[in-house]
């Protein structure tokens, strides 16, 4: 899962990025509104954390532009505690949620998790597919109740597939949600990660749709 952080305070930006990366997300960052708008307009993100008071282009204008252009990415805005009007403006501009400064990073993480879940149609913190379960709160995966150890890339790939079950995803789309903008992307590596997940989770948990990509489906036996 991939998140964009747009915050002009370098220390706060770094703090948010570090926390999101530690939680298992791929993170891109921007320090002004123009760069943030460009990234949100050209890269596929699962959620965006957007500060209101940005140089070059304010956060409300950035958000309004995205919504006018039909961008539906979930957006969490950051507002000053004493500016209730920012919250109203942000929600009216198309924000999905907000956090007031100063805040605890854990609250931001929880709200980002919730935004991504709701955007994919999941209400609960635990997402299931057959006997595979993903606990989004602690980034834990189990099969038939038994924990499964995954690498960071395997977890990111499975998390995206779990959030978007029964949908077919091309290698290109999966690659875009697995790596940040600066990474030298190679969609062929997706096949390697798919193979590893099948070995760890069950051979029939991920279906290859010829010519289109991959789909996580609910198997009957999970290869047992």
Q: At what angle do helices 10-22 and 105-119 cross, to 10 degrees?
A: 60
Q: Tens digit of pLDDT for each residue in 176-208?
A: 888 877 666 666 788 999 999 999 998 788 999
Whether 98 has a pLDDT exceeding 90, the answer reads: yes
> Domains of the chain: which residue ranges?
2-119, 126-216
For a pLDDT cut of 90, what percent of the chain falls above it? 72
CATH number of 2-119: 3.40.50.2300
Can you tell me the distance from the alpha carbon of 60 to that of 135, in angstroms, rounded to the nearest whole number?
A: 33
pLDDT at 16 (0 to 100): 97
Model confidence pLDDT, tens digit, residues 134-143 = 999 998 999 9
- Whether the Cβ atoms of residue 93 and residue 63 lie closer than 8 Å to each other: yes
Angstrom distance (rounded) from CA 60 to CA 176: 26
| Same-fold call for 2-119 versus 126-216 | no
Task: Please write the tens of the pLDDT for every residue from 43-83.
Answer: 999 999 999 999 999 999 999 999 999 999 999 999 887 77
For residue 159, pLDDT beyond 50: yes
Q: How far apart are CA 19 and CA 24, in angstroms?
A: 9
Token readout for 62 is: 């950035």
Specify the CATH number of the domain 126-216. Answer: 1.10.10.10
What sign does the CA torsion over 91, 95, 98, 100 have?
negative
Measured torsion, CA atoms of residues 6, 11, 14, 15, in degrees rounded to the nearest 10: -110
């Amino acid at each position: 899962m991939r998140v964009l952080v747009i915050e002009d305070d370098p220390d706060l930006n770094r703090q948010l990025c570090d926390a999101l990366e530690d939680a298992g997300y791929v993170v891109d960052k921007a320090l002004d509104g123009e760069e943030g708008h460009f990234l949100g307009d050209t890269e596929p993100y699962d959620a965006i954390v957007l500060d209101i008071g940005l140089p070059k282009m304010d956060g409300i204008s950035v958000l309004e532009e995205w919504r006018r252009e039909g961008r539906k990415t979930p957006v969490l805005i950051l507002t000053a505690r004493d500016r209730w009007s920012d919250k109203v403006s942000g929600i009216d501009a198309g924000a999905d949620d907000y956090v007031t400064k100063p805040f605890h990073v854990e609250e931001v993480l929880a709200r980002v998790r919730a935004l991504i879940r709701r955007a994919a149609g999941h209400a609960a913190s635990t997402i299931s597919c057959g006997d595979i379960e993903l606990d989004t709160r602690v980034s834990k995966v189990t099969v038939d109740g038994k924990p499964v150890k995954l690498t960071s890339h395997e977890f990111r790939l499975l998390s995206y597939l779990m959030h978007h079950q029964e949908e077919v995803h091309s290698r290109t789309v999966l690659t875009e949600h697995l790596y940040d903008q600066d990474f030298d992307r190679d969609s062929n590596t997706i096949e390697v990660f798919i193979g590893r997940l099948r070995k760890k989770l069950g051979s029939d948990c991920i279906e290859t749709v010829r010519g289109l990509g991959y789909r996580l489906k609910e198997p009957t036996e999970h290869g047992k």
